[in-house]
Amino acid sequence: MQFHTLFSKAVPLLWYGSHVDKCEKLTRAPGGTRLCEASSIVVYKSSLLQILRLVACEVWDHLLHFVTLLTHRIIPCLDVKAGRVVKGVNFLGLRDAGDPVEIARQYDEAGADELVFLDITASHEKRDIVYDMVRKVAEQCFMPFTVGGGIRTIDDVTALVQAGAEKVSINTAAVVTPEIVRQTAQRFGRCATVVNIDPKRVPRDGFEERRAEREKQGLFAPHAVIPDGQPDDIVFEIHVHGGRTPTGIDAIAWAQYIVELGAGEIVLTSMDADGVKTGYDLVITGGVSSAIDVPVVASGGCGSPEHIRQVLTETDADAALAASIFHYGEYSIQETKQYLHEHGVPVRLTH
Amino acid sequence: MQVVVIDYGMGNLQSVLRAFEECGADVIISDQPASLKTASHIVLPGVGAFSDAMNQIHAMGWHDAIRHEAIQSHVPLLGICLGMQLLADTGCEGGQTQGLGLVPGTVQKLVPDTPQTHIPHVGWNEFHRVQDHPLFEGIADGTDFYFVHSYHFKPASGQHAIGSTPYCGGFVSAVQSDNIFGVQFHPEKSHRPGFRIIENFLNIN
């Protein structure tokens, strides 16, 4: 009952009525304030049912334990090539549309909760340019950001962290040498260790062949974990090299494995949904986010704020990553968050 | 004014330095314990795991210097994230380790209170004052700050808990003992409210 003890004076529950600006804090009155006086409360995703049951019983102390106000993060992802942001962002009206520092500043002002810079430079020789970019962003921008793409070794990770990235996101390298995940977590902490997983639906037969091949080589080759209610002839298989290369590894089993190794966050990009803009893949996002106990960032397929609402309410994903809807000015961060807020999804509102 | 950001060799401190600069501070990053002698304010940032950080703090000679300035000279000290946790008596991340012992308490792992609660606690979450303090001037209860952590500070006594955040049933997100302060969130990554905390800290003498 730590929470109870801490807040013996004032209960920091925010009760939102139908009007956003009219949130008021209730003081814990002797005997408790009647819960039914509130029209609605902000709750953390699927604890809603439990809350409602408690509301019915008017059990205060238990209620406190279920209320948590961690907001869902909305994260724009920026593709970077040779230290310059490519694709979109022209609408921001920047003097220099490819300048990562200016773009980060704009997104910070607009209320983005984090940024992801994804380096898509093909050549590994130009890593210094990326480090230079990270250094500039870290010095000029006061918002959290993650850097991914092109990481091969723990030295690449170290260089990024030393340049100022607070989180690094590892993709192909985690499959090639899972040890890099353990090393990163050990050296920079679990919180700094993000792993990207790119699953794609494939027929079970082909998957099994590739899995057997891995097994023969003595590699990590778990059996497929089929998400609840899904046909078992389809497997969600991890792909690497930007989604081109199948690996013979099942997505859910892999997520569990790398969390054990030290991953503190998973960015899950559905290869089926990516670029299609018809919504996140709720099946695999739900499957992965309920199978592991670290935060999951849903990615791939976002075409509207409604898609973000779906993935944040229908799965246990903690955050949503999107690219084109923001970069091409289809929706602003602010209107996206306003939409989510109006639909009962807790987000950080800055305006 | 001379703000010293303590560099114990575990990562990049530029964003902390730059945030203090933006708030108008005369600030340096230093890996020399002797630099604390001229410090008007000390900042202890956080990178990595508790045990590694304490090992580095001992190896680089920071331990006694920090304690001396904070306790004998009453220099205001702000611990950020892991830096707040290091103020405790002991931590358990990477094995049971002695902390700086500046704010009585221990550091423990966050324990999820629902099946949907994910650890690390990453993202923007609310801060609520437990006690009023000049450090929070201009900050409304319920303001969002940026958090990234798996462990939390458990003060030995309620008098040292000055702020709290509703996650995992609620944890202490700000501590104080005289001139020594700690915040679990990252003010340098928390937009304007974060800058306000830094400014308030700079106004404490």
Contact A68 B171 (CB under 8 A): no
Classify residue A228 as exposed, middle or buried by CB count within 10 Å of its CB (0-12, 13-18, 19+). exposed
A90 DSSP assignment:
G
**Does A260 lie at the interface with B, CB-CB under 8 angstroms?**
no
How much is the average pLDDT of B29-52?
Answer: 93
Residues of B in contact with A114 (CB under 8 A): 123
Residue B50 one-letter amino acid: F
Average model confidence (pLDDT) for chain A?
A: 81
Q: What distance in Å separates residue A44's CA from the closest CA in chain B?
A: 8
Contact between residue A167 and residue A174 where contact means Cβ atoms under 8 Å apart: no
- For B61-82, the pLDDT digits (tens) are 999 999 999 999 999 999 999 9
Q: What distance in Å separates residue A68's CA from the closest CA in chain B?
A: 5
Q: Cite the beta strand spans of chain B per DSSP E.
A: 3-6, 27-30, 41-44, 77-80, 90-91, 97-98, 105-109, 121-129, 143-149, 151-155, 161-165, 171-177, 180-183
- Residues in Cβ contact with A139 at an 8 Å cutoff, skipping those fewer than 6 apart: A164, B14, B15, B18
Provide the residue ranges of all domains of chain B, joining segments of one domain with +.
3-202
Per-residue confidence band for B116, with pLDDT thresholds at 50, 70 and 90? confident
Q: CATH number for the B3-202 domain, one of 3.40.50.300, 3.40.50.880, 3.30.70.1380, 3.40.1160.10?
A: 3.40.50.880
**Does A143 lie at the interface with B, CB-CB under 8 angstroms?**
yes
CA distance A332 to A91: 11
Provide the whole-model pTM.
Answer: 0.86
The confidence score (pLDDT) of residue A127 equals 86
The confidence score (pLDDT) of residue A34 equals 35
- For A138-148, the pLDDT digits (tens) are 988 899 999 99
- What is the number of alpha carbons within 13 Å of residue A45 lying toward its C-beta? 23
Interface size between A and B, measured as CB pairs under 8 A: 154
The confidence score (pLDDT) of residue A14 equals 36
CA-nearest of A249, A251, A254, A255 to A270 is A251
- For B136-185, the pLDDT digits (tens) are 999 999 899 999 999 999 999 999 999 999 899 889 999 999 999 999 99
Name which of A69, A140, A292 to mutate to probe chain B: the one with the most chain B Cβ atoms within 10 A of its Cβ.
Answer: A69
Lowest average pLDDT, out of A54-68, A111-125, A247-261, goes to A54-68
CA distance B21 to B3: 10
Name which of A3, A64, A68 to mutate to probe chain B: the one with the most chain B Cβ atoms within 10 A of its Cβ.
Answer: A68
**Does A177 lie at the interface with B, CB-CB under 8 angstroms?**
no
Q: CATH number for the A146-156+164-342 domain, one of 3.40.50.300, 1.10.540.10, 3.20.20.70, 3.40.50.970?
A: 3.20.20.70
Per-residue confidence band for A11, with pLDDT thresholds at 50, 70 and 90? very low
How much is the average pLDDT of A311-321?
Answer: 96
Contact B123 A113 (CB under 8 A): yes
Provide the residue ranges of all domains of chain A, joining segments of one domain with +.
2-66, 146-156+164-342
